[in-house]
Structures are given as structure tokens and as C-alpha cells.
Structure 1
Amino acid sequence: MTVKTTNNLGVLLRSYEALHNWRALAMLAGSFVLGGLAISGGAAAGMSSGSAAVSMLMGLLGAIIIIVGMNASGLMLVDQAYDQPIRGFAPAFLGGVQAALYVIGLLILLGLGFGVILLAAYLLSLFGRIPGIGGFLGFLLGGPLVVVVALAYAVLLLAGPLMIAAVWHGEGFIASLSRAVGIVTQRPLEVFMHFLVLGLLVFPAVAFIFAVVFVGSMFVGGFFAAGSFGGMGMGGFGGMGGMGGFGGFGGMRGMEGVALGGAGMGGAGLSIGLVWFLAWSVVSLIYVLGMIFVYRAVSEGVESAGSEQIGQKLAQFKQKLDDYKPRPAPVAPPPPPPAAPPAQPPAPSPEPTSPAQVADTTHCPACGAAVQPDDVFCGSCGHRLK
């Protein structure tokens, strides 16, 4: 084990610092309490109405509340792990909703992948039913299939928490999955050692908190149970008096004690259940911060080449889909506007005729009488024209 790995394992001791983050603790505890109320109330409503749908619906609502609260507190703990200002409740809640959607989708995707592996193993196991060579094929396939399923389950267990932590660190949907799987496949022993040490560190807190809550629940629950059955005992004692009037009165008081004791026991049970949810929130907060430290330690130097390859494959697939899409007929471009006729040079203006030319052709310059072109003298005034 290298010095760097030892230091990273030592960082896990800081997991208990999560209890100093009061915002994350309040967010997680509040979500556990609200989720616990929804689950317990749904169970009580389902038992009273005899409808399992109400219990399932309220249980689903409670689970969603807890998941959103855990993701919101995880974002706050990421800020604490990197010594950043811890975000407020509203930004953490909104980020927790988005992270919860990513986490649910990724967990479903991981589950489907493991289901595909199980289906493939089942189909291969059918070769063992072939008459004659079934035993030989079973011998060849049995052991390798066990190894494949075991490795797939190990990847599922180790990659799940890393994938959730990657979502809290701001990775995308596909990037979180590929990065978590890449870390587990490249550093399986280091990841296992970190989670093993984290479990050993959190286990004392789990044992202590659950032990004290269990002892308190036993005592308090016993007190309420004793009060419930005490009313019935007093009623029985009154009925044994032999005097009809007083005995009947004692029986009525006993029934009231049973009813009140039963109601008190039910309310106490609900309250005790909420205390157990609070205990779970404290333990979960410690584990979540440790999970963030594990991700930070094992993800150093691991390139997310898988996410880039997946992104390239998706881009190529999208390009192929675009190529196969029917394209609209090309629209003919509008005809260009008619070109303006070329500018013609201005026509040369006729040269002005001199008065002599006008006189030679039409009129006498002296009197203005009309003359012929071949006249030498004007016929009116005798002016010499030529």
C-alpha cells in the first residue's frame, strides 16, 4: 500500500465532521422525518381502510422525499469536503431534485445492465439441458458464469456509491456512470479497501446509536404498553366485585382504559418510529461524507475516456439518424430581379442652325417671307439671298 493510499484512507477519519454541518444534518433529518411520517401514515391508513394502494402510494412518496433530502445534503457535504461555502437550503433542495432524478435513472440503468447479464447467464445455462452433452456444457459454463455474475455484482455494489458521488460533483448522466465503472475496473482493490475502512469507521457509530435508541424504545414502549393493559386489569378487578352495579361500572371503566391505552400506544409507536428515522439520518450523514472522501481519493488520475467515447458514439448515432430522416424537397430560389437595361449614352443634341442656313432653306432674313432654296433674290423685298 503506497503512502498516498494510506493518507487517503486516513482522510476517512474526517467522516464524523459531517455532524458539524448543521445545514446538511437539518436537511437530511427533516427529509427522514417527513418521509417517515408519509410511510407510517400510509401504513396506518392502509391498515384502517384495507387498501394496499394507499400504503404503496404513501410509501413511494416517503421514499422520494428521503432520496431528494439525501441528495440535497450530499451537495452540502461536497461543499464541506472541498472547504467551499456551504450552499443554502433552497439551492441545495433544487440541486437535490435534479441529482435525485439522475441517481434514480442511473440506478435503474445499472439494474437493467445486471439484469441483462443474469438473462444471458440463464440462456447459457439452458445448454446444460441438451441430452448427451448437457453435463459437459454445464461443466464448461457453470464456473465461468459464476465468476461473471459475481464480478458484475461486485461492480454494481462498488460503482453505485461512486456514481452517486460523481453526480454530486457535477458530472453528467453518462459521465457519472462511465466514470464510476472506469474507477472500479481500473482500481478495484483500492476502491474495495476504501469502502472497507469506511464501513469499519462507521460501524461503531451505527452500533452505539442504534443500541441506545433500542434501549430507550424498549423502556418507553413498555411503559405505554403497561398503561394500555393496566386499564384492562382494573376493569377486570371491578367486575369481580360481585355487586352487579359496581361491577358493571368497573367493566365500563376498563374498556375506556383499553381504548385510551391503545390510542396512546399507537401515537407512541409513531413517535418512536420517527426517532428511529432520526437515528438513520445521523448514521447516513456520516457515511455520505465518507463516500465523498472515497470518491475524491480514488478518482484522482482516472480519465473519463469512456464518457468521451460514449459521447462520440451517441453523436455518430444521432448523425446517422439525421441522415435517414426524410428531408423536404428543396425549394427553388426566387428568380433574380430583371436586370436594369444598360444606360444608353445621351443622344447628341442637334447642332443649332445658323440664321443663314434657316434663310437658305425657308425664309428671307430681311422680311421673313418664304423663299425657295434655289432663289437668288427675295421675291417680296428683293433682298439678295445668294
Structure 2
Amino acid sequence: MTDTTTAAKASAPLMSTIESLLQAASAFKNFRALTLLGLTFVTAVLTGGLFAYLASVTGIYFLFFLATLLSIIVLFYGSNGVGILLMNDAQGHPDSHSIIDAVLLSLYTSHRLLAVVFLQILIVLAVIVVVAIALAICKIPVLGPLLYTFVFPVSAVVLGILVFALYFVMLPLAAPAVWSGSSVFQVIAQLNMVVRKQLIMVLLSEFILMLITGFVAFIITMVIVSGSAITSSMSLGIIGFGGGGLLGLASGFGFGGMGGNGHMMAGMVGGGLLFAVGALIPSLIWSKGICLIYLNSTRDLDFSKAEEQLNSKLDSVRKKAEEARERARDLAAQQKQKAGANPVAATAGAVIDTQAPAVVAPSAPACPVCHAGISSDDVFCGNCGNKLK
């Protein structure tokens, strides 16, 4: 009885996660997110196509690069706007933002995602540098092979976990964290804690989400293919052309010929729209599922300490940098003040150097600039900082 109760308690979080992720299948019901995602794809294609056409007409091949860049920018900000709408839906507030509000928020906050990805890559590179230094130390004769016995397995585990966490936790969950309104350093602190405490649960959740998304995509594909086959057969008998899509084109070319340019173009456009809409739904399901995974993995975690530690480290770095700047300014001010008080010494140090031995007795050495007492071992004057040797 006790074992049964323990097993039930252990499986409760997993069952709760599965039940929560099943809600992602209803993402296509979010009309605003579906509309914005469709508009994003259409705008990206039209923008890229327009500039590509201009490049082919004018011969300015730089426009091809500009077309690609603009398409990527439209997809990036539009997809983040869709993510903001889906995050609101996952949080239970599907009507909190309009499409325009989501686009404006995306334009204002999406750059945080780029900053998070950049910092994560820097963290990976820093660890790689540390491992490289450790491996370089292992080149020491005799002691090197002994050190390598421990450095190799430790480095392999650290790098493996780091890369695994980067691809399956840090990068996938960075977008939902930004969509929820977190700042760059809050996202870094939150995801680090999720990796430490919820890594296995996040991986299981992503696997379940892939199964759900793949199953829905399979159903949509079967519906589109079977419906297209029936409609193409009917169109072939009634119109003389087999409709849009691969099946329609095959039936049109194989049995009914071209059938007419108007019907052919209409069938191709209609079939393309059908497959595009079918592809949008799995994308929405995956995006909402990632939002739910982020919310589930961070619900019971307290990020205040992690954020305080990160902020304290950043404050310490800023404080040290400010202290270094202050010391540099103070030294510059002292040098300027001393140069103003003794301009002859500042401009004719060589003359003073030659006259200094005649002024100061050998038994009492002094600085040739400010004549302060020094010892024979001093390299710099303790009063004015003049280099003695």
C-alpha cells in the first residue's frame, strides 16, 4: 500500500505535465495568434519577393541580400509577437493584448532574446577556454598524463551537460521567458536555476510535446492529402483540371492536360494556402507548448536569490570598474597639479637631473623633481611619482 502511494505521488507531476501540455493542442483556437502568424509569413514572402524582383530587374544584386535580411527580420519580430499572444493564452489571459499590441511589444522586447542567446554563447565559450587551459596544463611532462586522467572525464561531462542544456533548455525556454516580460539578466538567472533543478522534467516535457505536435501534424497531413485527393478527382471530372497541390498537378498533367491556365493557377494558389495553413497549426501548438513548459518548470522556483546573486556580481564588477576609473582620474589630476606647480621640472626634467646632484648631498638622496627624500632602492618617488631608475 505504501509503495502504491509513493508511486502515485512520484507520477503525479508527470501526469500533471501531460495534462497541461494537452492544452497546447488547442492553440489553433487562438484566432489572434493564428492571424498574426499567417500575416507574418505572407509579409515575409511578399517583402522578400519584392526586393528579389527588384534585384533581378535592376541588376543590383545587393537587393537579394536585403530581401533575405528583411524577410528574416519580419519573421523574427512577427514570430515573437505570436509568442507573446500564446504566452498570454498559456497564463489564462488570451484577450489581454490585441494583434497590434503584440507587434509593438515584440518590437520593444524581442532584442532581449538576441542578447540572451549571445550571453549563453559567451558562457559556453568561456567554459571551452577553461577546458582548453586545463588541457594545455596536461602537456606538462610526467605530471600531465596523471592530470589528464581526471581532466578528460570531468571536461567531457561538463561540456556535454552544458551543450545539452544549451540546446534543450536554455535556447528553447529563452523565448518564453522573454515573452513573459523578463529582462535579459532575469532570463539568464531563471534558466540557470531551471537547468539545475528541473532539467529532467523539462526534457520529459519537451519529448511529450514533440509527440503531441507530431501526432497533430500527422492528422492534419492525412486530412489535407485525403481531402485533396477526393477534391482533385471531382475537379478532374467536372472542371477538367485536378486542383492544387501535388496530387492535383499530377492528375491535371496525367489525365486532363493543363486544363486551363486560370484553373491551374487558382488550384496551385489554393493548394499552397491549404498546406501553409496546415503548417501553421503545428507551429502554434509547439509555441504554446513551450510556453506551458516554461510556466510549469518555473512555477515552484524562487528566483529572488539567483537574481540577487547575479545582480551582486554585476554590481561588484561595475564597482571595481568605477574604482579603477576613479584611480586613473586621481592620478591624472595629481600629475596635472604637480606639473602646474613646477612647470620647469615638467618641461626641463633633464636640466634638473643634471643640477640635482649639486643641490642634494650624497648622504641625503632626494628626488630630482620635487626634492623629497628617497632611498637608494626606490624606483619611483613616493611624493610625486617621478621615475628614478
Do the two structures share a fold, i.e. TM-score over 0.5?
Answer: yes
2:313 aligns with 313
Q: Which residue of the partner structure matches residue 94 of structure 1?
A: 104
- Aligned match of 1:23: 32
Question: Equivalent residue for 1:145?
Answer: 155
Residue 38 (structure 1) shift: 3.5
CA separation of 1:46 and 1:176: change in aligned 2, threshold 3 A? same
Q: Label 1:181 to 1:43 Cα distance change in 2 as closer, same or farther (>3 A).
A: farther
Q: Which residue of 2 aligns with 1:322?
A: 322
Against the structure 1 CA distance between its residues 147 and 56, is the aligned structure 2 distance closer, same or farther, given a 3 Å change threshold?
Answer: farther
CA contact (8 A) 1:36 1:277 kept: no
**Displacement of 1:117 after TM fit?**
3.6
Distance 1:12 1:27, change over 3 A: same
Distance 2:76 2:251 in 1: 34
Whether the 8 Å contact between 1:155 and 1:181 is mirrored in structure 2 is: no
1:263-278 alignment, distance < 5 Å: 277-278=276-277
Q: Is the 8 A contact 2:51 2:67 kept in 1?
A: yes
CA contact (8 A) 2:252 2:258 kept: no
The reply to whether residue 219 of structure 1 matches residue 242 of structure 2 is: no
How far the C-alpha of 1:57 sits from its partner, in A, is 2.4
**Pairing 1:291–2:290 present:** yes
Moved more, 276-285 or 190-199: 276-285
Give 1:9's aligned residue. Answer: 18
Shift of 1:16: 1.5
Q: For each residue in 1:302-327, what CA deviation from the matched residue of structure 2 results, as whole angstroms up to 9, or x when unmatched?
A: 12222221112222332333333337
Q: How many residues align?
A: 298
Distance 1:309 1:211 in 2: 52
- After TM superposition, the structure 1 = structure 2 runs for residues 33-52 of structure 1, keeping only pairs within 5 Å, are 33-40=42-49
Task: State which structure, 1 or 2, has the greater radius of gyration over its C-alpha atoms.
Answer: 1
Residue equivalent to 1:55? 64
Q: In 1, are the aligned partners of 2:194 and 2:298 still within 8 Å (CA)?
A: yes
| 2:322 maps to amino acid | D
- Residue identity opposite 2:119 in structure 1: L
CA 1:39–1:5: 2 relative to 1, 3 Å: same
Change (3 A) 1:180 1:47: farther
DSSP-derived class of the 1:170 partner: coil
Residue 8 of structure 1: how far off its partner (Å): 2.6
- Counterpart code for 1:280: A
What is the CA-CA distance between 1:203 and the residue it aligns to? 0.8
Displacement after TM superposition at 1:138 (Å) = 6.2
% same residue: 21
Give distance in 2, aligned partners of 1:278 and 1:320.
55
2:195 is aligned to: 184
Q: Distance in 1 between matches of 2:187 and 2:273?
A: 33
Post-superposition Cα deviations, 1:115-156, rounded to whole Å, max 9, x if no partner, equal 444455556556788899987776654444332222111111
Q: Give the Cα separation in 2 of the matches to 1:60 and 1:191.
A: 33
SS in 2 for 1:75: helix
User: Which secondary structure does the structure 2 equivalent of 1:187 belong to?
Assistant: helix
Per-residue Cα deviation, 1:86-113 (whole angstroms, up to 9, x for no partner):
3112211111112321112212222333
Question: Which residue is equivalent to 1:340?
Answer: none
How many Å apart are 1:67 and its aligned residue?
Answer: 1.6
Task: Give distance in 1, aligned partners of 2:115 and 2:102.
Answer: 20
Aligned-pair distance for 1:190?
A: 1.0
Partner residue of 1:301? 300
Which residue of structure 2 lines up, in the alignment, with residue 195 of structure 1? 206
Q: Distance in 2 between matches of 1:283 and 1:198?
A: 11
Instruction: Tell me, yes or no, if the aligned pair for 1:159 and 1:180 is still in contact at 8 Å.
Output: yes
CA offset digits 1:64-89 (Å, max 9, x no partner): 21121121112112222222233112
Letter in 2 for 1:174: F
Aligned counterparts of 2:129 and 2:52: Cα–Cα separation in 1: 35
The alignment's C-alpha RMSD in Å is 3.9
1:337 is aligned to none
After the TM superposition, which of the residue ranges 128-137 and 198-207 deviates more from structure 2?
128-137
Offset of residue 195 of structure 1: 1.0
**Are the structure 2 counterparts of residues 45 and 150 from structure 1 closer, same or farther at C-alpha, using a change threshold of 3 Å?**
farther
Q: List runs of 5+ in structure 1 lacking aligned partners.
A: 232-256, 330-386
Mapped partners of 1:39, 1:75: distance in 2: 25
Letter in 1 for 2:315: A
Q: Which moved more, 1:14-23 or 1:274-283?
A: 274-283
Does structure 1 retain, via aligned residues, the 8 Å contact 2:25–2:212?
no
Alpha-carbon offset, residue 268 of structure 1: 8.6
